[in-house]
Each structure stands twice: as structure tokens, then as C-alpha cells.
Amino acid sequence: MSSNQDSPIQRRLRDLAAFGADAEYTVNLGRDAFMAETQDGRLLRNNGRHILIQVATVAEKLPESFRQSYPSVDWVGLARMRNLIAHHYDKIDDQLVFAALQRRIPDLLKQLDLG
């Protein structure tokens, strides 16, 4: 349970962990479901894109000093991914979105000792 005494960093890390759980749930539904040319598939793809935007937005709000203490994290890549999804929706490769949900998000959580 969250506490009003949590620091902004703790709250953001908790948010990242929650978004990681959302990514895991989405991936566990399967690539075929994610890529299906159905309304359900479209919803899953939109959900996956939104998860990536949320992760990158939270990461961007972490203090620079915190980010510097994790030099192996590709902070710039996260921001670029967010910008691509948010501003160039017509150029998104959903196979790459699924791969990011499947690999990049869990890797990020591991690097931050959240997963």
C-alpha cells in the first residue's frame, strides 16, 4: 500500500513496476492476439503503445541524478521510442512494439531492481 511519505522516486518506480505488469499481461496474451486484425487485436496494440508511452514518460520524470546512477539503461532510447509512438503513429511497427513489451520493459525493470 502506498504511503503519503513515499518519495517521488519511490512513486515513479512503483508506477514503472505496475506498467511492467501491464506489459507482461499483454505479452502473455500472445503475439497472435496482439497482431490479430480484429477489434481485440487493435485494442491490444493501442494498449501496448500506451504502456510504452507511460514507461518512457515516467522514466523521463526520474531525476537526472537517479538516471545517472543507472548508466546501462538506454534513457535516450526510451524517450525516442515515446516520441515515435506519440508523434508518428503512422510509422509504428507493431512487431517492434510487441518486442519492446516482451524484452525492453522487463530488461528495464531488472536493471532498476524492480523485476
Tell me the whole-structure pTM to 2 decimals.
0.91
Exposure b/e, 17-28, CB count within 10 A at least 16 = b:
eebbebbbebbe
Q: How far is residue 97's CA from residue 104's CA, in Å, rounded to a whole number?
A: 10
CB atoms within 10 A of CB 32: 8
Domain assignments of the chain as residue spans, ordered by start: 8-111
CB atoms within 10 A of CB 64: 8
Q: How far is residue 24's CA from residue 115's CA, in Å, rounded to a whole number?
A: 11
The tens digit of pLDDT for each residue in 94-103 reads 999 999 999 9
The tens digit of pLDDT for each residue in 10-45 reads 999 999 999 999 999 999 999 999 999 999 999 999
3-state SS, residue 59:
helix
Is the Cβ–Cβ distance between 24 and 102 less than 8 Å?
no
